[in-house]
């Protein structure tokens, strides 16, 4: 059913809450995981951008090592640009069967919000989306 699962991450512990779900699906279906951390170029000096790139690369390499050690097929990408658009683009280009991500959104009494990036991905996704709702501890 799933051959390639795109896992969208932002470097936070909350975003990593999607990993156990993605890992379980990858193990069950023999799927590969594509870890995607989109970085948006900051409106700061080039040194800050270089530091953000290095941090994102270290983060993804650490997850790659951890997941590969479990026997999972993993690779990662670190594109720069608008997160939702790039998640959808990578899902399309990688022929992802599933996009997995978390929602950091807040909810109101009228309608639950799922976060701007997650909502945009859901609306434009070329494949099914697994959305894991998480909230930050208060």
* Residue 138, domain member (yes or no): no
Domains held by the chain: number: 1
* Residue 93, domain member (yes or no): yes
**What is the mean predicted confidence (pLDDT) over 83-93?**
96
**Considering the chain, what is the average pLDDT of its residues?**
89
Q: Give the full edge-to-edge strand order of the sheet including 129-133.
A: 74-77, 32-37, 4-9, 98-103, 129-133
Report whether pLDDT(106) > 60: no
* Residue 33, domain member (yes or no): yes
Full domain range(s) for residue 53? 4-133
In angstroms, what CA-CA distances link 106 with 47, 111, 115, 136?
33, 10, 7, 10
| pLDDT tens digits, 31-82 | 999 999 998 776 666 777 788 889 999 999 999 999 999 999 999 999 999 9
């Amino acid at each position: 059913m799933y051959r390639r699962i795109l896992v969208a991450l932002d470097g936070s512990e909350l975003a990593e809450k999607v990993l156990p779900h993605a890992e379980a699906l990858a193990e069950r279906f023999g799927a590969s995981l594509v870890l995607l951390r989109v970085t948006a170029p900051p409106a700061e000096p080039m040194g800050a951008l270089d530091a953000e790139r290095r941090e994102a690369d270290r983060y993804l390499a650490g997850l790659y090592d951890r997941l590969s050690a479990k026997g999972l097929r993993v690779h990662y990408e670190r594109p720069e640009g608008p997160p939702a658009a790039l998640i959808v683009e990578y899902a399309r280009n990688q022929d992802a069967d599933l996009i997995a991500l978390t929602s950091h959104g807040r909810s109101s009494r009228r309608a639950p919000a799922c976060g701007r990036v997650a909502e945009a991905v859901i609306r434009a996704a070329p494949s099914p989306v697994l959305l894991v709702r998480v909230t930050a501890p208060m």
